[in-house]
Structure formats: structure tokens, C-alpha cells
């Protein structure tokens, strides 16, 4: 039996019954990595040697019946914009190619306390800016289902790794869909928790009012286990919130809203069909389903591409060749900074910094950034109004299946449009999940997205698990396992 296909709870049960050792599973995921990394390039660094001792310690705990954690001995891949002490954190940027983190992110501290094992750091679009993992300074990641296609992004390395079973689960970060979109493209579950429930301390900042860390997993239950392990208020992140969860019904007393604007033009028939399939199942189970209109969703891309670049231009001002990262010489400090940033950042990062700088510059602030903030507030209010009528909102996760490598690299706006369905949850701070539901005619995965009101993450996961059990998607990429 190949345990790398199993869920976290199933693996833990085998560990507890002493039918499988953590070190055996650890060897298996590295065997899978050896079979897939050359073709997929999911990881930037692999930690095999360093963690053999830790896997043996997990073995000992289970052997002595001393383990108390579901994540003990579970190999987890970490997106390379999350700091692990004494390891490189490159953000897939030339700017940070030699940066070694002097501290652990809060989520890493929490996973270490649970005795999880780290497989390595995964590839991403530079500083998490992108939707295909083609913006990495260290090479492309490919989709494990078909290597002609992108794995999505920006957490494409994390999703390719879980897809190829070179890890059991992974952490990603989601600013406009960067967990959910690659999870959908790779046939996995991707969960973006409510903004503030998971500490951002130690996550390299892109757009601080939108960024959120979350899991990419094979099952909804795996996402639940990781979310409960990494969430919690943190004094080192001023935006973190007390995780007081609301209880929503997940059984057929719940009402489901289908977002009209995300079932119209610009969404492929295949993506719509997956939503309709789930709706039919829910109706047959007795759930009440209604159409909900949130017209401002049509402006999501415009709002997002003012707010996210504005925050990015401020956050990435720290990369100036002085305290860390790349330095390119110049005659003065200013020249040195300009040369360093010219050499260290790739095209997409420059594009967003310049866009944000413009949106925040004197004379344009009110008409661009100010207006976007007001529109965002309007969107938050519109969602709150919808949640008076329905418990959950459903839509496609992505407008289409995965696209081919190189297909959108010369057209930034078209690339941005691939996040149309996922961006609203970031703007409104909502919990949102992508659940794999089927395959396209090209045999590539498709998913549906479910959103709910802030701080109803646990109910959202319960409801998503019902969909998962009803749909019974059991597809797996072939060739790596």
C-alpha cells in the first residue's frame, strides 16, 4: 500500500497502530520527489537529509505510544515565502537568492510544536505575484496532470508537490487566489481562511490587507486539521483576530447562493457545469438553492489591481540593498538602490510596484487608491447583505481549466483575469475553499469554490466535506507514483 495517497487521519491511524512508521512515509515522499522533481520542479529546496533524525524521533514517539498530535511525522511542503529558521527564503526572487531566515514564521513554530516534518520549500511566482508559477526567477513549475500546462499560482510549487505526492500537504499563501486557483488546477483542496485567523508573522509581505496563509491538501479534513493547527491570535501580527468561530448549519437546513455574476460571460461552460453539477446534488439532498446577485464583483479585478499593487509598492520598498538581499553597486546610495531593484526584481514585480507607485502618487491617490478602498468597502457591505439570505455562496474557482505554459505570459491583463472568481474573498476577508469536482475534456481538474461569512471557517469546512463526499472526485495525476 502506498501511504502517500492517504489522508492525514488515515496515516495517523496507521502510525498509531504501528502498521507504518513516519520514517517509512518520509522515505516514500522523497522517492516520489525523486520521480517527479526533474519534470515538475515543485520544490526549490528539499530537506531530506536534515529531517531524517526528526522522522526517527517521530518513529520513537509512536513506538512508545507517546504521540499526541495528528501532524506528528506528516511531511508538509512550505511555500518559499514563509520563513523557516536557518533555511533560505527566496520568494523565487533573485533579490533574496541568498537570504537565510533568522527566525521561524508563527505557522512554522506551530507546525514544529505538532512535530510535523518539512519536505522543503516550494516554487512560487516571484513574491507571490502571478497565477501560473511562470514568474519564478528559478524556473517554471509544471502541472502534475499534464506538463504542458501550468500548475496555477502563485502557490504552484505547493500544489504540484501535493499532486505528485512529494508531500502529504502543503502551506501556501493567498492574496487573490494563490491557494485556491493552483489547488483547482491540480485537483486538490485549497483553503483560504478568514483574514486574520492565521498569523502572517514570518510570511514575506506582498499586500498585507489581503495576504493569508492556508493549506493545500488532498481532502477537506486535511485542510481542517492544518487550519486548526496554524490558526490563532498572534501579538506579532497586528491584523490577527481572535478566532471566535460562528456556527452555521451545514446540513440541508442551510441555504446556498449561486453568484450570478460568476456564472456569466468570461466563465467557461466546463467551469459552470461543475457548479451546476454540485447544485443539483445539493438540491437532491434537500438544500435550498437561490441565485444571488452581487454586481460589484464585476469590478473585482479593477479594485484588486489598485489595492494590491499599492500595498506591494510600499511593502517591497524594504528591498533596497542595505539590510538584506541583493546589492548591485552604485556611486551613491540612491544609485545602488536603483541598480539593486532593477537587477533583483523580475518584470511582473516591477510592473506591480510601478502601478502601485502611480496609484499612490500625488494627484492620483484619491481617484485611484481612494476610490478602490471605497469600492472595497462597498463589496464588503454587499457580501454582508447576501449573507443575510444565504449561508454559503458557490461559484467556479477559476474561469477555465489550467492553461498552457506560455499561453498568457505576454498578456498581463489576461493573466489577471484568471483570478476573477477568487479575488472577491480576499477583498472582503471571507473564508473560501476550492473543492475538486471533476475533469475537463482535456482530462484536467476543475473545482468549485464555496465562500461564507467571516469567522465561519469551521462550518464552511463541514459543508465542503459534505460536497466532497457527495461528488466523490477520486482522480489522481498519473506518471509520478
Partner 1 sequence: MSDEFNIKNIAKLASINLSEEEQDSLSNDLSIILEHVNALSDLKLNSQQQEIFIHPLEKELELQDDEVVESLTHDEAISNAPESKDGKFVVPPSME
Q: Rounded distance, CA 398 to CA 447, Å?
A: 8
Q: Which is nearer to partner 1, 7 or 302 (CB)?
A: 302
With beta carbons less than 8 A apart as the criterion, state whether 461 and 469 touch: no
Does 107 bind partner 1 (CB under 8 A)? Our answer is no
Does 102 bind partner 1 (CB under 8 A)? Our answer is yes
Residue-by-residue DSSP string for 73-134: T-EEEEETTB--TTSB--TT-GGGTT-B-SS--HHHHHHHHTT-EEEEEE--SGGG--SSS-
Q: Rounded distance, CA 304 to CA 376, Å?
A: 9
Q: Rounded distance, CA 2 to CA 315, Å?
A: 43
Does 103 bind partner 1 (CB under 8 A)? Our answer is yes
Question: Segment near partner 1 (CB under 8 A), from 144-152, 161-169, 276-284, 336-344?
Answer: 336-344
154 cis-preceded (ω within 30 degrees of 0)? yes
Q: Rounded distance, CA 197 to CA 188, Å?
A: 22
Contacts of 244 (CB under 8 A, 6+ apart): 455
Does 100 bind partner 1 (CB under 8 A)? Our answer is yes
Q: Which is nearer to partner 1, 210 or 433 (CB)?
A: 210
Contact set for partner 1, span 287-326 (CB under 8 A): 296, 299, 301-303, 305-306, 313, 317, 320-326
Q: Which is nearer to partner 1, 343 or 442 (CB)?
A: 343
Name the CA dihedral angle for 89, 226, 309, 98, rounded to a multiple of 10 degrees: 0
Angle at 386 between CA 382 and CA 391, to 5 degrees: 140
Question: Smallest distance, Å, CB 346 to partner 1?
Answer: 11
User: Which of 19, 264, 291, 335 forms a contact with partner 1 (CB under 8 A)?
Assistant: 335
Distances 86 to 45, 53, 102, 201 between C-alpha atoms, Å: 13, 17, 6, 16
Question: Smallest distance, Å, CB 421 to partner 1?
Answer: 17
Q: Which is nearer to partner 1, 220 or 375 (CB)?
A: 375
Does 90 bind partner 1 (CB under 8 A)? Our answer is no
Question: Segment near partner 1 (CB under 8 A), from 125-133, 176-184, 266-274, 426-434?
Answer: 426-434
Does 332 bind partner 1 (CB under 8 A)? Our answer is yes
Q: What residue spans of 411-473 are helical by DSSP H?
A: 412-417, 423-428, 457-471
Q: Which is nearer to partner 1, 253 or 333 (CB)?
A: 333
Question: Smallest distance, Å, CB 141 to partner 1?
Answer: 23
Q: How many CB atoms lie within 10 A of CB 14?
A: 18
Question: Smallest distance, Å, CB 80 to partner 1?
Answer: 15
Contact set for partner 1, span 445-474 (CB under 8 A): 454-455
Does 87 bind partner 1 (CB under 8 A)? Our answer is no
Does 113 bind partner 1 (CB under 8 A)? Our answer is no
User: Which of 375, 420, 421, 432 forms a contact with partner 1 (CB under 8 A)?
Assistant: 375
Dihedral sign for Cα 41, 47, 48, 54, please.
negative
User: Which of 95, 117, 205, 353 forms a contact with partner 1 (CB under 8 A)?
Assistant: 353
Contact set for partner 1, span 389-418 (CB under 8 A): 412-413, 416
Angle at 118 between CA 478 and CA 135, to 5 degrees: 65
Does 373 bind partner 1 (CB under 8 A)? Our answer is yes
Q: Which is nearer to partner 1, 3 or 373 (CB)?
A: 373
Q: How many CB atoms lie within 10 A of CB 141?
A: 34
Contact set for partner 1, span 16-55 (CB under 8 A): none
Q: Rounded distance, CA 251 to CA 80, Å?
A: 38
Q: Are strands 75-79 and 117-122 parallel, antiparallel or unpaired?
A: parallel
Contact set for partner 1, span 179-218 (CB under 8 A): 194-196, 209-210
Q: Rounded distance, CA 421 to CA 254, Å?
A: 22
Residues with a known catalytic role: 79, 154, 178
Question: Smallest distance, Å, CB 209 to partner 1?
Answer: 5
Does 368 bind partner 1 (CB under 8 A)? Our answer is yes
**In 3D, which of 330, 312, 313 has the Cα closest to residue 322?**
330
Question: Smallest distance, Å, CB 109 to partner 1?
Answer: 12
Q: Which is nearer to partner 1, 222 or 311 (CB)?
A: 311
Distances 118 to 9, 47, 60, 125 between C-alpha atoms, Å: 18, 7, 18, 21
Question: Smallest distance, Å, CB 219 to partner 1?
Answer: 28
Question: Smallest distance, Å, CB 182 to partner 1?
Answer: 22
Distances 274 to 357, 401, 466, 469 between C-alpha atoms, Å: 40, 11, 16, 15
Contact set for partner 1, span 232-291 (CB under 8 A): 235, 238-239, 241
- Count interface residues toward partner 1 (CB under 8 A): 76
Amino acid at each position: 500500500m502506498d501511504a502517500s495517497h492517504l489522508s492525514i487521519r488515515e496515516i495517523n491511524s496507521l502510525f498509531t497502530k504501528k502498521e507504518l512508521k513516519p520514517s517509512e512515509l518520509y522515505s516514500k515522499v522523497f522517492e516520489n520527489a525523486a520521480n517527479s522533481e526533474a519534470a515538475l520542479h515543485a520544490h526549490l529546496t528539499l530537506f531530506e537529509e536534515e529531517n531524517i533524525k526528526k522522522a526517527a524521533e517521530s518513529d520513537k514517539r509512536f513506538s512508545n505510544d507517546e504521540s499526541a498530535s495528528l501532524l506528528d511525522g506528516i511531511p508538509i511542503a512550505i511555500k518559499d515565502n514563509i520563513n523557516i529558521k536557518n533555511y533560505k527564503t527566496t520568494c523565487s526572487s533573485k533579490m533574496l537568492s541568498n537570504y537565510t531566515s533568522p527566525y521561524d514564521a508563527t505557522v512554522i513554530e506551530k507546525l514544529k510544536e505538532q512535530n510535523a516534518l518539512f519536505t522543503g520549500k516550494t516554487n512560487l511566482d516571484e513574491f507571490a505575484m502571478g497565477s501560473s508559477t511562470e514568474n519564478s526567477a528559478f524556473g517554471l513549475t509544471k502541472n502534475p496532470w499534464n506538463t504542458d500546462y501550468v500548475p496555477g499560482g502563485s502557490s504552484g510549487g505547493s500544489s504540484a508537490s501535493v499532486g505528485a505526492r512529494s508531500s502529504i500537504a502543503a502551506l501556501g499563501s493567498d492574496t487573490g487566489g494563490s491557494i485556491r486557483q493552483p489547488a483547482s488546477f491540480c485537483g486538490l483542496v485549497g483553503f483560504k481562511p478568514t483574514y486574520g485567523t492565521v498569523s502572517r508573522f514570518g510570511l514575506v509581505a506582498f499586500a498585507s490587507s489581503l495576504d493569508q496563509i492556508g493549506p493545500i491538501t488532498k481532502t477537506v479534513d486535511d485542510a481542517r486539521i492544518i487550519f486548526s493547527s496554524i490558526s490563532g491570535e498572534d501579538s506579532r501580527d497586528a491584523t490577527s483576530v481572535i478566532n471566535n468561530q460562528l456556527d452555521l448549519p451545514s446540513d440541508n437546513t442551510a441555504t446556498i447562493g449561486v453568484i450570478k455574476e460568476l456564472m456569466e460571460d468570461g466563465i467557461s461552460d466546463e467551469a459552470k457545469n461543475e457548479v451546476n453539477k454540485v447544485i443539483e446534488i445539493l438540491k437532491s439532498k434537500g438544500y435550498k438553492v437561490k441565485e444571488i446577485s452581487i454586481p460589484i464583483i464585476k469590478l473585482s479585478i479593477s479594485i484588486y489591481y489598485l489595492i494590491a499593487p499599492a500595498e506591494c509598492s510600499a511593502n517591497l520598498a524594504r528591498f533596497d540593498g542595505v539590510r538584506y538581499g541583493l546589492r548591485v553597486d552604485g556611486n551613491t546610495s540612491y544609485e545602488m538602490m536603483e541598480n539593486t531593484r532593477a537587477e533583483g526584481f523580475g518584470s511582473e514585480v516591477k510592473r506591480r510596484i510601478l502601478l502601485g507607485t502611480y496609484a499612490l502618487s500625488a494627484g492620483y491617490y484619491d481617484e485611484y487608491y481612494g476610490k478602490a478602498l471605497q469600492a472595497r468597502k462597498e463589496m464588503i457591505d454587499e457580501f454582508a447583505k447576501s449573507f443575510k439570505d444565504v449561508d454559503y455562496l458557490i461559484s467556479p474557482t477559476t474561469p477555465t481549466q489550467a492553461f498552457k505554459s506560455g499561453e498568457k505570459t505576454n498578456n498581463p491583463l489576461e493573466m489577471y483575469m484568471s483570478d476573477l472568481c477568487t479575488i472577491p474573498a480576499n477583498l472582503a476577508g471571507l473564508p473560501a475553499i476550492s473543492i475538486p469536482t471533476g475533469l475537463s475534456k482535456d482530462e484536467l481538474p476543475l473545482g468549485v469554490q464555496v465562500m461564507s461569512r467571516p469567522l465561519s471557517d469551521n462550518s464552511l469546512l463541514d459543508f465542503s466535506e459534505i460536497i466532497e463526499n457527495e461528488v466523490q472526485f477520486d482522480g489522481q495525476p498519473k506518471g509520478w507514483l
